C-alpha cells in the first residue's frame, strides 16, 4: 500500500476529476431536456411579453424653493402640526425636499388629479380609495441630493396621459404649497377683520357717547397733565389688547412651547406690569384715569368717557396696522416651485422590457433544467441500488399514495423521453 502523501493527493484529485466528468456526462446525457426547458421558458416569456400591454413613463423635473436651514426648520415645524390633516407621515421628514416628495402623494393632491381626469372611471374602480392606490402606485418622486432637483415620474399605458399626469402633479403641488404657505397669513387677516368690525362699532359708540355728554353738560376742560395721563394709559391699554389679539392668532398655528409664543407672553406680561405701575403712581383706583382728588364729578365722568374714546381709537389704529401686515403677507408668493423640465409624451415604452425578460427566463430555465437533470439521474441510480431502494420504500410509507403515484408517473414519463 502506497503511503506516499503525494500519491494520496493524486488519488483525491483523480476522484474529484472523475466526479466532474460524471457531472458532465449527466449534462450531456440530459442535453435534450435542458434545451427543451431553457428554450421553452424563453419562448413562453417572449409570448407573455408580447401580450403584455406597453407601459410608458413620463418625467418632469422641479426645483423646490431654496430655503435657509432655519427657514426650512420653521416650515417643517409649522407643517408638522397639520401633517395628519393633509395625509403626511407623522414624523421622519428632515429636509424640505423630503417634505415636497411626501406632499406629492397626499390625499389632497391625489384627489385633485382623480377628479380632474375622472380616474375612478378610467381605472375602473368602485371607490376613491382604490383610485388613490392605483394613482399613487403610478407616480414616483426622487430627490437628487447634489442638485436638489426632484424628478416626478408617472407611468401609464398611454404616453400622452403619462405626461399630462406628471405635469398635473406639479400644478397641484404648486396649488397645495401656495395654500400651505399663506394659511398663517390668511388666518391672521380674517381674524383681524372680525376684530376690526367689533372695534369700529365700539369706537363709533364711544364717539357718540362723548358727543352727547358734551352737548348735555357743556365742554369740560381737563388739565394738560391729566389729559396726558388719560391718553398714556388708554394707549397702553390698547396696546395690551392688541398684543393679546396677536397672541391668540399666534396660538392658532403654533404650540405653547413655540419661542415666538413665549416671547409674546413675556412682552404682554411686561406691558401689564407697566400699566399697573402707572395706575399706582397716579393713585388711580378702578382705572377712572382722572385722579379723584383733582377733578369734580363732571370732569371725572368726562375723563372716563375720554379714556374710553382714546382707548378704542388707539386700538383701532393698532389692529389696522396688523391687518395690513397680514394682508401683505398673504399676497406674497415667496415659495415658488420652479419647473426645470416639463413632461413630454415618451416615444419609447418603459416596460415590458422584453429582451431582459427573455434573458432572465433563459438563465432561470437553464439552471432549473440542470437541477431537474441531476434529480432524474439520481432517481435512476437509486432505483437500481438495493440499499437505496429500501430507503425509498421507507419514504413511500411517509407520503400519501397518490403523491407518490404522481411522482412515479413523472419519472417514468421522463425515462421514456
**Model confidence pLDDT, tens digit, residues 356-378:** 999 999 999 999 999 988 888 87
Return the C-alpha cell found at 407: 411522482
Enter the pTM of the model: 0.52
Spatial CA neighbour of 318 closest among 254, 237, 414, 225: 237
Summarised one tens digit per residue, pLDDT across range 322-359 is 888 888 877 665 557 888 899 999 989 888 888 899 99
Return the C-alpha cell found at 169: 402633479
Residue 117 to residue 243: CA distance in whole angstroms: 48
Query: Would strands 56-63 and 150-156 be described as parallel, antiparallel, or unpaired?
Result: antiparallel
134 pLDDT more than 90: yes
β-bridge mates for residue 58, sequence order: 154
Is 335:78 a contact under the CB 8 Å cutoff?
no
Q: Is 369 exposed, middle or buried, given 0-12, 13-18 or 19+ CB atoms closer than 10 A? A: buried
Contact partners, residue 150, CB within 8 Å, separation at least 6: 61, 62, 63, 64, 97, 100, 101, 141, 142, 143, 144
Return the C-alpha cell found at 325: 401686515
| pLDDT attached to residue 229 | 64
pLDDT average, residue stretch 275-293: 54
Higher pLDDT, 10 or 235: 235
Is 300:290 a contact under the CB 8 Å cutoff?
yes
Amino acid at each position: 500500500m502506497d503511503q506516499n502523501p503525494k500519491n494520496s493527493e493524486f488519488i483525491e484529485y483523480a476522484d474529484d476529476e472523475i466526479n466532474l466528468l460524471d457531472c458532465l456526462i449527466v449534462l450531456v446525457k440530459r442535453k435534450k431536456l435542458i434545451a427543451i426547458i431553457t428554450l421553452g421558458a424563453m419562448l413562453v416569456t417572449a409570448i407573455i411579453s408580447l401580450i403584455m400591454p406597453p407601459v410608458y413613463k413620463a418625467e418632469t423635473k422641479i426645483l423646490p424653493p431654496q430655503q435657509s436651514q432655519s427657514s426650512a426648520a420653521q416650515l417643517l415645524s409649522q407643517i408638522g402640526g397639520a401633517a395628519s390633516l393633509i395625509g403626511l407621515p407623522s414624523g421622519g421628514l428632515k429636509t424640505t425636499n423630503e417634505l415636497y416628495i411626501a406632499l406629492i402623494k397626499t390625499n389632497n393632491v391625489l384627489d385633485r388629479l382623480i377628479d380632474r381626469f375622472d380616474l375612478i372611471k378610467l381605472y375602473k374602480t368602485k371607490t376613491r380609495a382604490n383610485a388613490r392606490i392605483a394613482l399613487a402606485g403610478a407616480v414616483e418622486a426622487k430627490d437628487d441630493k447634489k442638485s436638489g432637483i426632484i424628478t416626478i415620474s408617472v407611468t401609464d399605458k398611454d404616453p400622452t396621459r403619462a405626461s399630462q399626469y406628471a405635469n398635473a402633479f406639479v400644478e397641484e403641488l404648486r396649488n397645495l404649497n401656495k395654500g400651505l404657505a399663506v394659511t398663517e397669513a390668511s388666518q391672521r387677516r380674517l381674524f383681524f377683520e372680525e376684530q376690526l368690525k367689533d372695534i369700529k362699532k365700539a369706537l363709533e359708540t364711544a364717539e357718540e357717547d362723548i358727543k352727547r355728554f358734551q352737548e348735555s353738560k357743556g365742554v369740560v376742560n381737563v388739565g394738560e397733565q391729566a389729559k396726558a395721563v388719560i391718553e398714556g394709559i388708554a394707549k397702553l391699554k390698547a396696546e395690551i389688547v392688541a398684543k393679546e389679539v396677536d397672541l391668540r392668532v399666534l396660538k392658532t398655528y403654533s404650540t405653547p412651547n413655540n419661542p415666538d409664543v413665549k416671547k409674546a407672553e413675556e412682552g404682554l406680561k411686561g406691558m401689564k406690569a407697566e400699566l399697573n405701575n402707572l395706575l399706582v403712581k397716579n393713585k388711580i383706583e378702578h382705572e377712572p384715569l382722572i385722579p379723584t382728588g383733582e377733578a369734580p364729578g363732571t370732569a371725572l365722568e368726562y375723563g372716563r368717557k375720554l379714556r374710553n374714546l382714546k382707548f378704542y381709537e388707539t386700538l383701532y389704529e393698532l389692529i389696522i396696522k396688523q391687518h395690513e401686515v397680514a394682508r401683505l403677507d398673504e399676497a406674497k408668493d415667496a415659495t415658488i416651485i420652479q419647473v426645470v423640465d416639463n413632461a413630454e409624451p415618451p416615444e419609447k415604452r418603459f416596460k415590458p422590457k422584453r429582451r431582459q425578460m427573455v434573458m432572465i427566463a433563459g438563465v432561470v430555465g437553464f439552471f432549473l433544467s440542470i437541477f431537474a437533470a441531476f434529480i432524474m439521474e439520481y432517481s435512476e441510480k437509486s432505483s437500481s441500488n438495493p440499499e437505496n431502494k429500501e430507503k425509498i420504500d421507507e419514504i413511500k410509507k411517509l407520503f400519501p399514495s397518490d403523491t407518490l403515484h404522481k411522482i412515479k408517473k413523472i419519472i417514468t414519463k421522463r425515462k421514456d423521453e
